[in-house]
Amino acid sequence: MSVPTPESAALETEVLLVQRLRDRDEGAMTIFYDKYSAALYGVILRIVKKEEIAEDVLQEAMVKIWHSFPSYDADKGRLFTWVMNVCRNLAIDKIRSRQYRVGSRTQPIEESAALRQAAEPAFRPEHIGLQEMTRQLNPEQRQIVDLLYFGGFTQSEVAEELSLPLGTVKTRARAAIKVLSKLIR
């Protein structure tokens, strides 16, 4: 009779866990979460860089793992490798998403350095009136200026958002700037 090694005991435990997950045993999912969530969270956090987003991606990954578990093939790799790839792919999808890119481009006003700096006594933002001036642009130009300058979008993102060719966005932006420069003078 052979003495079980720690590796063989771990493999046997993993085989049992996989079988319980295949049988849709919710208790097994709790064991799975306790065993793997910290490592998976670490992988996700390294990719998304923000704890709150990493927590959301981990939650989304757990749901996806539960629902797609029948597609796991133990002959192709270990359980941890499979779930790590699921988490990594979801994290990459998250940072590639438009919502993430727009959200990471802007920061809440509460975190802005501008709040901690005193304004010049003579500075009165309402005297600039740039947003009022944009009302004099035609609707296509105004929409592009709003997205570019007040929405923080790039020209490529505006083209994607409005389903326009990039050249059209650039032409309208350039025309809008010409009109605004005349209004400012």
Query: Of 7, 11, 93, 6, which is closest to residue 44 (Cα–Cα)?
Result: 93
Query: Of 157, 178, 174, 175, which is closest to residue 166 (Cα–Cα)?
Result: 157
pLDDT in tens, 95-142: 887 766 665 555 555 555 544 555 455 544 444 566 677 778 888 888
Whether residue 183 has pLDDT greater than 60: yes
Contacts of 93 (CB under 8 A, 6+ apart): none
pLDDT at position 41 is: 92
**CB-based burial label for 63 (10 Å; 0-12, 13-18, 19+):** exposed
Residue 146 token pair: 């709003």
pLDDT at position 125 is: 41
Domains of the chain, with CATH numbers? 8-103 (1.10.1740.10), 136-184 (1.10.10.10)
pTM over 0.85: no
Its sign, for the CA torsion 3, 6, 7, 13, is: positive
pLDDT at position 133 is: 76
Whole-number Å distance between alpha carbons of 21 and 102: 37
Describe the crossing of helices 79-96 and 26-48 by its angle, rounded to 10 degrees.
50
Rounded to an integer, the average pLDDT of 25-44 is 90
